[in-house]
Amino acid sequence: MQKARIKATDRPDSGHLKKKIMKTKRKTALVTGATSGIGHELAKIFAEEGYDLVLVSRSREELETVGNNLAQLHGVRATVVPADLSEPSAAEEVYNEVKAKGIQIDVLVNDAGQGVYGPFTTTDLQEELNIIQLNVVSLMVLTKLFLKDMVSRGEGRILQLASIVSKIASHLMAVYAGAKAFVYNFSMSLSNELKDTGVTITALQPGVTDTDFFNKADATEMRAVQEGDPADPAKVARDGYEALMKGEAKVVSGAMNKMQAAMSNIISDEALAEQMRKQNEPTDQSSS
């Protein structure tokens, strides 16, 4: 049987077809810390909004459970990349694996983070070094590698998990507060640096949130946890997502946190530190 020949005039316009494909191409969001807390809620939002996902966390099993659920619920593609970002080479390995799979990252969400609670003179040094690697170094590496790709394309968005303590000294959580101060200032610096590039960076500043963070940090006895009103991680994630989509440089989640952030521009650092001390001290004073 003779094959039908397509005349040149019958062929679809390649430029028009390319534009159509580009319009319908689904974007991809990479979320670290995607199996729990704010990271999980952000992954859910991106899936609901039709984004394909690259999910990063330590547990392959948990990642696959989350990825399969979101893929089935929303008809998106979920790629899992297990990685312990407290390891020095992990962030670059994540980037290399994503590139090897041919996945373009349109949105980077640096959510993964950890803290340790207690007097700095008694906390474990190696644990704190791991926290700095996770909260600071890996975040910086992922930002640098994916940001270069975004700038070269002229578009992209990055959401960084800072914290309300990024601008306020935090009694019994000095290393965590110091790490978040880096995240906030790093993000604000880049936000200004990236003007007119088509790429935006947003720093999300939540306060105490109802996640497993305080359990992992051995901080469940903090007064702010025991007697406060921890925020809903879904609400925090929504605040972050909306600010990210608007291209805002920062967003403080929660009315009380907004008030505290505003006070940080008026009250002295020493007075704020003393207020935070009262919130962070354990309900059982004998353990302070």
pLDDT in tens, 7-49: 444 444 545 544 444 445 799 999 999 999 999 999 999 999 9
* pLDDT of 206 strictly over 70: yes
In the chain, % of residues over pLDDT 90: 66
Instruction: Tell me, yes or no, whether 102 lies in a domain.
Output: yes
What is the mean predicted confidence (pLDDT) over 154-171?
A: 91
pLDDT, residue 95, reads 98
Instruction: Tell me, yes or no, whether 13 lies in a domain.
Output: no
The two tokens of residue 199 are 């790429």
Instruction: Tell me, yes or no, whether 165 lies in a domain.
Output: yes
On whether the CB atoms of residues 223 and 278 are closer than 8 A, the answer is yes
* pLDDT of 51 strictly over 70: yes
Which domain covers residue 158, as residue numbers?
A: 25-287
* pLDDT of 198 strictly over 80: yes
What DSSP designation does 59 have? Answer: -
Instruction: Tell me, yes or no, whether 231 lies in a domain.
Output: yes
Taking alpha carbons only, the member of 32, 150, 40 closest to residue 84 is 32
Determine which of 86-90, 100-104, 206-210 has the lowest per-residue pLDDT on average.
Answer: 206-210
- State the Cα–Cα distance between residues 233 and 44, nearest whole angstrom: 12
Instruction: Tell me, yes or no, whether 4 lies in a domain.
Output: no
Determine which of 6-10, 216-220, 271-275, 279-283 has the lowest per-residue pLDDT on average.
Answer: 6-10
Instruction: Tell me, yes or no, whether 30 lies in a domain.
Output: yes
What is the mean predicted confidence (pLDDT) over 55-61?
A: 97
pLDDT, residue 284, reads 72
pLDDT, residue 277, reads 65
* pLDDT of 214 strictly over 60: yes
Query: pLDDT band at residue 169, thresholds of 50, 70 and 90?
Result: confident
Q: Residues 51, 95, 176, 184: which is the catalytic one?
A: 176
Mean model confidence pLDDT for the chain: 86
In the chain, the number of structural domains is: 1
Instruction: Tell me, yes or no, whether 42 lies in a domain.
Output: yes
Domain CATH code at residue 73: 3.40.50.720
* pLDDT of 53 strictly over 50: yes
Contacts of 117 (CB under 8 A, 6+ apart): 123, 172, 173, 214, 217, 218, 219, 222
Query: pLDDT band at residue 114, thresholds of 50, 70 and 90?
Result: very high
Query: pLDDT band at residue 182, thresholds of 50, 70 and 90?
Result: very high
pLDDT, residue 208, reads 79
Active site residue 3: no
- State the Cα–Cα distance between residues 153 and 28, nearest whole angstrom: 14
**Model's pTM, two decimal places?**
0.84
pLDDT, residue 286, reads 46
Q: Strand 28-32 relative to strand 52-57: parallel, antiparallel, unpaired?
A: parallel
- State the Cα–Cα distance between residues 126 and 144, nearest whole angstrom: 25
What is the mean predicted confidence (pLDDT) over 260-278?
A: 67
Sign, CA torsion 84/87/93/94? positive
Q: Strands across the sheet with 107-110, in order?
A: 78-82, 52-57, 28-32, 107-110, 156-161, 199-205, 250-252
Amino acid at 218: D
What is the mean predicted confidence (pLDDT) over 184-202?
A: 97
Instruction: Tell me, yes or no, whether 12 lies in a domain.
Output: no
Active site residue 180: yes
What is the mean predicted confidence (pLDDT) over 176-201?
A: 96
Q: Residues 95, 180, 184, 241: which is the catalytic one?
A: 180
